[in-house]
Amino acid sequence: MKTALRFTALAACAALSVAAAPRKPAATGSSGANWAGQVVATDDGSHRFGNPDAPVRLIEYVSYTCPHCAHYHKESDPVLRLTLVPKGQVSVTVTNFLRNPIDLTVAMLTNCGDPKRFFVRNNAFFATQETWLAKVESMNREQQARWYQGELTPRMRAIASDLGFYAKMESWGIGRAQTDACLADKPMLDKLRKQQSEVEALGLQGTPSFSINGEMLEAHDWAGVSKALTAKLAEQRAGNI
C-alpha cells in the first residue's frame, strides 16, 4: 500500500553554524576516472554521484525549502565534489525529505530532463533558494491556498508559476510544455513517495539528516558529517593495512 505524501508548513530545520570549506582542485582516482562525474539514479529515484563501490557511502536526506540544507550544500559540495568523491573514496546519494508541496514541486523539476544532469538542477535550486523562498514569504494566504487545495498537478504548476520555476527550467532548455509534463509524471511521483516512505521508516524528524554506510548520524551539519567521514575513512584504511 502506497504511503501518502504528508506535508507540513515550512517547519524549522536543524540549526547550523559552520565555516565555509575551501575549494580545492579536482582529483582523480587511482584508475584515472573522475568519479564525481559518475551519476546514476537509484531504484527509488534518489541520485548518487561517485564510485558505486566506494568504501564510504554517504546518504543525504534533504528538503529544498530548508535553509540549513542549502547552507550544508554550500559548505559540503566543494569538498565532496572536488576532493573525496573524485578519488573514489566516497559516494554521495541525495534522497528527498518532502515537507510541503514546494519540496515536491522542486523534486519533480530536479528530476525533469537528463538524469545525468540531476545535480546541475539540484545545485542550482539550492544555490538560488534564498531568492525563490523569499517569494513564498511575499505571497498572501489566498495565493498560497492554491498550493494546498485541489488536484496535485495543478497545485505544482501554480507553485512553479508563482516562484519563477518555469524560467529556471527554460534556462536549461526545458520548455513549459516539457516542464508541465514532468510535473504530471506519475511514475516519478511514485518514486518520490517511495523515498518518503524510507524517510518515515527511518523516523527522521529534521533536515538535513545523514547516514554513512547505513548508519544514521547524529550530526545535522557539515562540520559533523565531515568529522564522521574522516573517522570512517580512517577506519577503512586501518582495515586494509
DSSP characters for 55-124?
SEEEEEEE-TT-HHHHHHHHHHHHHIIIIITTTTSEEEEEEE---SHHHHHHHHHHTSS-GGGHHHHHHH
- Domains of the chain by range and CATH? 36-240 (3.40.30.10)
pLDDT tens column, 8-39: 444 445 433 333 333 333 344 444 568 989 99
- Return the minimum-mean-pLDDT range out of 5-19, 111-125, 146-160, 186-200: 5-19
Helix (H) or strand (E) holding 129: helix 129-138
pTM for the predicted model, two decimal places: 0.86
Of residues 71, 138, 69, the one with CA closest to residue 106: 69
pLDDT tens digits for 54-111?
999 999 999 999 999 999 999 999 999 999 999 999 999 999 999 999 999 999 999 9
Output the nine-digit C-alpha cell for 164.
519563477
CB-CB contact of 129 with 70 (8 Å) = yes
* Maximal CA-CA distance, the chain: 64
What is the reported pLDDT for 28? 44
